[in-house]
């Protein structure tokens, strides 16, 4: 005989009580989670949309000196142009959706000392690679926020890259080359400086990277600071030089390691009119 018994009664689901603490967690946690999700999606879309876009600006005729500020990107300075200099205004701009449709701006102004060119980026996320033809007599000041600078055949130049590399060829007059990304700070990350110079007064600061320069004319004053980078100098023969190599303070030895020996093979004299000062903070120094 088959017996049919009533099925076991299932226990009722326990109701989740909404305590005050749980209500606070819901009120704070849900908006925060949605915000984090939105920012994550935005970042992914922005990265996926980044690319390079060719842009062009109207040529800028430069009168007098040149003062150029580039937020980001590489700059090439070409000297030897007899007529007034011209900014070619062509390059590559990098940007993403966080630009909200705004393109980089190029603003120019004529001042008492010359022409000022200022390139800025909305939302700080773009770079312009530019080329500038410069009259040999025009003093030049160029500041780039991390881009590389290449300069050929110009005089009286102040060039600062903020961490990029500096390559020079045949610069004359008074020259200042700075690649330190944290000027006046210890052990800042800077780019390297290399090339040839025929300048009389030269100041170089790399913020930790190397210097490799060939001087085609004996400089009146050459001052180099590397904060640990190596220094290699080739000086014209037939002259005697006053060479001062500054040793690092004892407190820095533990951070940069023991000082490397200086290899100086040029003729030296304490009374020479040609002065070379090198502060490598422990980096190797070669002067020949």
Which of the two residues, 55 and 172, has the higher pLDDT score?
A: 172
What phi, psi does 211 have (nearest 5°)? Answer: -125, 130
- What digits encode the pLDDT tens for the residues 15-25? 556 666 656 66
Paired residues of 272 in beta bridges: none
What phi, psi does 154 have (nearest 5°)? Answer: -120, 165
- What digits encode the pLDDT tens for the residues 232-265? 999 999 999 999 988 655 444 344 444 555 789 9
Two tokens at 141? 């000041």
Residue 140 predicted with pLDDT over 50: yes
- What digits encode the pLDDT tens for the residues 265-281? 999 999 999 999 999 98
Given pLDDT bands bounded at 50, 70 and 90, which one contains residue 60?
A: confident
Q: What is the pLDDT of residue 46?
A: 45
Rounded CA separation 191/206 (Å)? 6
Q: Note every long-range contact of 245-253, with CB atoms under 8 Å and residues 24 or more positions apart, other chains counting.
A: 245/278, 245/279, 245/280, 245/285, 246/277, 246/278, 246/279, 248/281, 248/282, 252/186, 252/281, 252/282, 253/282
Rounded CA separation 99/73 (Å)? 17
- What digits encode the pLDDT tens for the residues 74-105? 899 988 766 666 777 777 776 543 334 456 78
Q: Give me the DSSP letters along 198-210.
A: --SEEEEE-SSS-
User: Tokens 């003729």 label which residue?
Assistant: 267
């Amino acid at each position: 005989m088959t017996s049919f018994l009533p099925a076991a009664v299932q226990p009722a689901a326990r109701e989740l009580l909404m305590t005050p603490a749980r209500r606070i967690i819901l009120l704070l946690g849900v908006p925060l989670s949605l915000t984090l999700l939105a920012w994550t999606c935005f970042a992914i879309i922005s990265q996926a949309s980044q690319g390079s876009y060719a842009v062009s600006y109207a040529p800028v005729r430069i009168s007098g000196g040149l003062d150029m500020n580039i937020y980001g990107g590489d700059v090439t300075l070409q000297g030897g142009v007899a007529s007034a200099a011209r900014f070619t205004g062509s390059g590559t701009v990098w940007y993403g959706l966080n630009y909200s449709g705004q393109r980089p701006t190029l603003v120019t102004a004529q001042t008492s000392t010359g022409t000022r060119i200022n390139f800025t980026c909305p939302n700080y996320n773009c770079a312009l690679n530019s080329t500038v033809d410069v009259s040999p007599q025009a003093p030049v000041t160029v500041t780039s926020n991390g881009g590389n600078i290449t300069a050929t055949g110009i005089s009286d130049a102040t060039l600062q890259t903020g961490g990029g590399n500096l390559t020079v060829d045949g610069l004359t007059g008074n020259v200042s080359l700075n690649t330190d990304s944290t000027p006046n700070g210890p052990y800042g990350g800077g780019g390297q400086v290399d090339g040839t110079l025929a300048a009389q007064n030269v100041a170089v600061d790399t913020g930790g990277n190397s210097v490799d320069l060939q001087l085609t004319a004996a400089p009146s004053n050459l001052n180099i600071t590397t904060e640990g980078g190596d220094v290699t100098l080739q000086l014209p023969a037939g002259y005697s030089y006053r060479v001062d190599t500054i040793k690092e303070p004892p407190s820095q030895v533990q951070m940069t390691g023991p000082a490397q020996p200086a290899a100086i093979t040029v003729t030296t004299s304490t009374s020479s009119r040609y002065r070379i000062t090198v502060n490598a903070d422990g980096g190797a120094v070669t002067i020949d």
